[in-house]
Structure 1
Amino acid sequence: MLDVLGVGFGPANIALAVALDELWPSSRVKFLEKSKNACWQPSMLLDGADIQNHPVRDLVTPRNPRSRYTFINYLHEHGRLFRYLNMPAPFPLRKEYAQYVQWVAEHVPADVEYAREVVGIREVGEGGRHKVIEARTSDGSAFRARAVVVAPGRTPNIPPTFAHLGVPHVVHTSEYIPGVGDLGSDYTGTIAVVGSSQSSAEVVLDLIARLPQANIVNVMSGYGYRLKDTSPFSEEVYFPEFTSYYYRASAKGKDRLRSQLRPTNYSSADRDVIDALYMRLYEDELDGRTRLSIRTNRRIDRTDLADERITLEMTERITGEHDLLVADRVILATGYRDLGVHERHEQLPPLLADLAGILRVDDQTGLSVGFDYRVEADSSARGVPPIYINGLCETTHGLGDAGSFSLLALRSQTIVQSLRRSLAEHVNAEAPSDVFTTR
């Protein structure tokens, strides 16, 4: 019997694997990953794109700077440390950080089964004595463990006006590179990019270089691109102290904090990409080219597909005027869904749908998650095995849980410590005759 089953083996659970190896090496753990290998953002590894994150806020350094699995040691072992230190940029290239993540995944002594897509998780009895977690995979296999840590990544946010359209006509940035992989450099069609975030700016710049003859139209709901708030005061949202402060705030307080701090991570972009995009527009105007245009303050009211082309019916939010855009392909830089009960939220991760009846759901925040990232059981449920969510808890824990590397290492430590305590308590409560040891 496994102690812990990890669903997903992206950065969050890779960091967890390192923490388990360093803090609880005797644990019996298996990870299931739907991809064929370890990878991080493979569809957004664009030329020149960086991680927007201090490099030592990696998978392990904030928890254990002496670990073999730090980014600095990765550079050292690959003979690139001095070359990296001489690089004229504040943040690592996204491509290099992806290679670092893969390197850790390949070297940490974790039991990982790739190409295993988990399609459902449920609670089952084990020998009539206590309950365990069972994960079912798409190939019909089943894996049981005393606890589960779910880290599937966030669900792409597809606005309702685009929900009836599919690939290849509409592509979310999470599938961007394969989504335009069939288009050659001589492509002359029209591509609409929806959004005004870092990702949308990066995609627009990439499309201009990748498809120099295409017509690119960037549609956004605001007046224009906004600079990301990188004030060191605002960046303290990625301190562990802020996580505690945010978690203990009231629902009204959390709403206020989200409103104040949203520009640190959402609907904004770094100066380098904004400047590059504006310069591209200016130079094209100088050269008499109109391959890129931006339609601001637009609300997309309706979309239709006819003759393999998508028509976007839009309203200018200030003037009220209506206009149309006909595109051959649409790229959605519309972000991801968070846990919660409001628009752009989902009440619980789809993988936990079969457990909805035994999990506690809060009217304000959706799925109720403890400070240690353990999902709280419904008051009517008894003996629910420990269930943890790793990397989806922005609504309850703040921006440090918003897909950022910043707190991965410390979050892993919290989960490992809670796992050891919870498993011992669970086994003792449900099956006193069962043996559970840690050393």
Structure 2
Amino acid sequence: MTEATSDVFDLIGIGFGPSNLALAIALQERGHNMRAAFLEARPQFAWHPDMMIAGSDMQVSFMKDLVSLRNPRSAYSFVSYLHDKGRLSRFINRKTFFPSREEFNDYLGWVAAQLPVCHYDSRVTAIDPVGRGDHITELAVTSESSNGQSRIYRTRSLVLAPGGQPHWPEIFRPVQGTSQVIHAQDYLSATTARIKPGMRVAVIGGGQSAAEIFTDLAQRPQIAGVQLILRGRALMPSDDTPFVNEVFDPGQTEIFHAKPEADRQRMLQNLAATNYAVVDGDLIEQIYEMLYEQDVRGEDRLLLTAETQIQAVAATDQSVTLNMTGPQGAVAADFDLVILATGYRRDLDDAMLKSLTPWRKGPPDRNYRLPMADHFEPAIFVQGFSEATHGLSDTLLSVLPFRSEEIALALEAFHNRHMNAVAAE
């Protein structure tokens, strides 16, 4: 059964992770008068639930929460959360800027619970133009619940923030969907059901997630062997030194966006070590120590294989065979489980915008709005799809407070123009 809303929304947001959560705060604090709703596929708020590995910490300061850089007095700050939970003094006593990932997730959920604007269990399945001919006046957003109930929301503006989709390297695509190969996105829930005594597990990747998963598996004694396989020469540390970290400062977005495309691409390449395929230095040292202590004991349960390329993958009902080439030549190894810590991809075409392709005219503008053809009235904003034009922080928490305010201001201006046009008719 499909239910259609009778009224037109001023705003529909797709996804209710940190990006749209920050937008909801910005709109709330500005006292907006728009009819707005956010659609989230999950049944309740959750942020990377399958990477809540025990002992894992945030890689950014708690000051880079949803709002503090923009409004330190906000009731939705991480400090306000700690005060409300009665843990502010104890957190200060820990002398750290970095909460656990579990605590930061709890903070995000605490904020979400105070903003009753989200429709959970609402997976968006389609975004369609509404109008006559080429003149588009609204968008129809179709969502579906877990019990098959469909609903259509009509809206004059849209903010897309669905997050990234798991990246499956081409060579692993034929085994996607098998029980022996999973993506890190599903790590905890998938391994809970699959880990059995005596298993051999391979982790593919050289970034933070791969290192965290390798370390977590190493601490499960029932696993017979864990192998971390990476293309690079070694696990590389992230560059979080102060001068380099300034690339994530709010003002850098304006500077980056104003540069020619070639300069932007060069900057992204030069700064890759701040975010991509890098690991916290402390975790690298922990892994090195684990491997050293294992060598002292004369064991070989844990293995780190660098400079290794996977050439072929074959799966049966029981195991996965990886054919690899590296410093030791060509090697074939069998595993009971392979975990891909290969990152995420962000593609606007995958974000349910294919039906709007005839009207799209290019990448997001400075205010994160997609330029559309003439006679296309709805405003479409995107969050997390603008790294190439807005800088490395686009997919990170650092930019959320200011990006959300910029989008909120643009939405208000768009809404006011519409209301003035209606009043003038």
- Give the TM-score range, shorter chain: over 0.9
2-structure distance, mates of 1:202, 1:21: 36
Q: Of 92, 113, 121, which residue of structure 2 is paired with 1:106? A: 113
Q: Work out whether 1:213 is the aligned partner of 2:223.
A: yes
Tell me the residue number matched to 1:388.
Answer: 381
| Alpha-carbon distance in 1 for matches of 2:44, 2:62 | 23
**1:313 to 1:432, Cα distance in 2 relative to 1, 3 A:** farther
Q: Is the 8 A contact 1:123 1:384 kept in 2?
A: no
Query: Aligned in 2, Cα 1:163/1:72: closer, same or farther, shift over 3 Å?
Result: same
Match of 1:52 among 49, 54, 59: 59
Indicate whether 1:422 and 2:422 are aligned: no
2:375 corresponds to which letter in structure 1?
Answer: R
Deviations 1:1-57 (A, max 9, x none): 211001111111111111111114322101110001111110101111111011011
Structure 1 stretch 297-306 or stretch 349-358: which is displaced more?
349-358
CA deviations on 1:271-297 (whole Å, 9 max, x unpaired) are 111111111111111122211101111
Q: Distance in 1 between the 2:334 and 2:351 partners?
A: 34
Instruction: Choose 382-391 or 128-137, whichever is displaced more.
Output: 128-137
Query: Residue 376 of structure 1 aligns with which residue?
Result: 371
2:356 corresponds to 1:355: yes
- Check whether the contact 1:208–1:214 (CA below 8 A) recurs between aligned residues: no
Of 132, 140, 150, 1:134 maps to: 140
Q: Identity of paired residues, percent?
A: 33
Match of 2:162 in 1: 152
Residue of structure 1 equivalent to 2:318:
308
Work out which of the residue numbers 62, 72, 76 in structure 2 matches 1:69.
76
**1:87-140: CA deviation from partner (whole Å, max 9, x where unpaired):** 2544110000000000000012x32111000011122129x9961111111332
> Structure 2 vs 1, CA of residues 300 and 25 (structure 1 numbering), >3 Å: closer, same or farther?
same
State which drifts further: 52-61 or 350-359.
350-359
Amino acid aligned to 1:269:
V
1:121 partnered with 2:127:
yes
Q: Structure 2 stretches of 5 or more lacking a match? A: 1-7
Amino acid at match of 2:272: R
Deviations 1:362-391 (A, max 9, x none): xxxxxx10110111114xx42231001122
RMSD: 1.9
* Alpha-carbon distance change, 102 to 188 in structure 1, aligned in 2, over 3 angstroms: same
Partner secondary structure for residue 62 of structure 2: coil
- 5+ long unaligned stretches in structure 1: 339-345, 362-367, 435-439
Is contact 2:16–2:161 with CA below 8 Å preserved after alignment? yes
Pair 1:256 & 2:266 matched: yes
Match of 1:9, SS state, is: coil
Residues in 1 aligned to 2:423 and 2:314: alpha-carbon distance in whole angstroms = 61
SS at match of 1:164: helix
Amino acid paired to 1:255: Q
Q: What secondary structure sits across from 2:238 in the alignment?
A: coil
Q: Give the AA of the match of 1:328.
A: D
2:241 is matched with: 231
State the shift of 1:416 in Å: 0.3
**Aligned pair partner of 1:42 in 42, 45, 49:** 49
Would the aligned equivalents of 2:207 and 2:276 in 1 still touch at CA under 8 Å?
A: yes
Q: Which residue of 2 aligns with 1:333?
A: 341
For 2:45, what is the secondary structure of its paired residue?
Answer: coil
1:137 counterpart letter in structure 2: S
Q: Which residue in 2 is equivalent to 1:174?
A: 185
Runs of 4+ in 1 over 6 A off after TM superposition: none
Aligned to 2:390: 397
Q: Deviations over 1:306-351 (max 9, x none)?
A: 24211111222x67x221121111111111113xxxxxxx353432
SS in 2 for 1:294: strand
Mapped to 1, the partners of 2:222 and 2:273 lie a distance apart of: 31
TM-score normalised by length of structure 1: 0.89
- For the residue of structure 1 that corresponds to 2:352, the secondary structure is helix
User: 1 or 2, which has the higher helix percentage?
Assistant: 2
Give the C-alpha shift of residue 392 in structure 1: 2.5
For 1:31 and 1:103, locate their aligned partners in 2 and report how far apart those are by CA, in whole Å: 17
Counterparts of 2:415 and 2:32, CA distance in 1: 15
- Measure, in 2, the Cα distance between the counterparts of 1:61 and 1:235: 18
Return the alpha-carbon distance in structure 2 between the equivalents of residues 248 and 154 of structure 1. Answer: 25
Tell me the amino acid that sits aligned with residue 5 of structure 1: I
Residue pairs, 1:279-290, within 5 angstroms? 279-290=289-300
What is the alpha-carbon distance in structure 2 between the residues aligned to residue 202 and residue 106 of structure 1?
29
2:360 and 2:370 in contact (8 A); partners too: yes
Contact 2:136 2:375 in 1 (8 A): no
Amino acid at match of 2:359: I
Normalised TM-score (structure 2): 0.92
Is the 2:162–2:351 contact (alpha carbons within 8 Å) kept by the matching residues of 1?
no
Deviation for aligned residue 1:420: 1.2
